[in-house]
Amino acid sequence: MGWKWSEIKPNGGIWQRRNRFLSGGTKFNIFLVLCFLALVGWLSAVISRPYLRKARFQKLMGQYMQEYRYMQGEQELFKQLIEEAEKLGIPPLTPDNFEFQGGVGQDSTLRCSYSEFIKLPGNKYYRIDLTAEKSLFIPSRY
């Protein structure tokens, strides 16, 4: 029985073996992972918008609460916040959406409750109930 050198040692040595990284089912698995990452990215972009608007609105609420001592009362505060909410793209608000506790010279809390809708594929909408809340001390007038 004879033998050949090719039976003992693979042709070309260990450095010239076939690259199997992108062969067969691996391509499909990479495609699935990329699709999953795209879906997660899209969902995070769609769902994060209302929460970013809420954070910006809370910042504005704090700025207007600091100026509360110069205003004519709660109704003027609510009116200015409603105008700012329209600029941010928050759904239309009314003074009934707001709740203010406190006043000049004491700890104060301002809450605004509203609903936003997220459009999903197939003309379906998902409702998110949000409550923006800001608490701070309003110093007395000088």
pLDDT for the residue 57: 95
Residue 22: count other Cβ atoms within 10 Å of its Cβ. 8
Which of the 8 DSSP states describes residue 98? E
Residues whose CB falls within 8 Å of the CB of residue 129, separated by 6 or more in sequence, listed in order: 113, 114, 115
Q: Domain extents for the chain?
A: 52-138
Model confidence at 18, pLDDT cuts 50, 70, 90, reads low
Which of the 8 DSSP states describes residue 1? -
- What would the mean pLDDT of 127-137 be, rounded to a whole number? 93
pLDDT for the residue 50: 92
CB 99 within 8 A of CB 111: yes
CB 130 within 8 A of CB 115: yes
pTM above 0.85, yes or no: no
Given a cut of 60, is residue 67 above it in pLDDT? yes
DSSP-derived secondary structure for 46-62:
HHHHHHHHHHHHHHHHH
Given a cut of 70, is residue 8 above it in pLDDT? no
Model confidence at 60, pLDDT cuts 50, 70, 90, reads very high
Compute, in degrees rounded to 10, the torsion defined by CA atoms 131, 48, 92, 57: 60
Given a cut of 80, is residue 93 above it in pLDDT? yes
Distance from first CA to last CA of the chain, Å, rounded?
109
User: Which tokens hold the place of 18?
Assistant: 């076939």
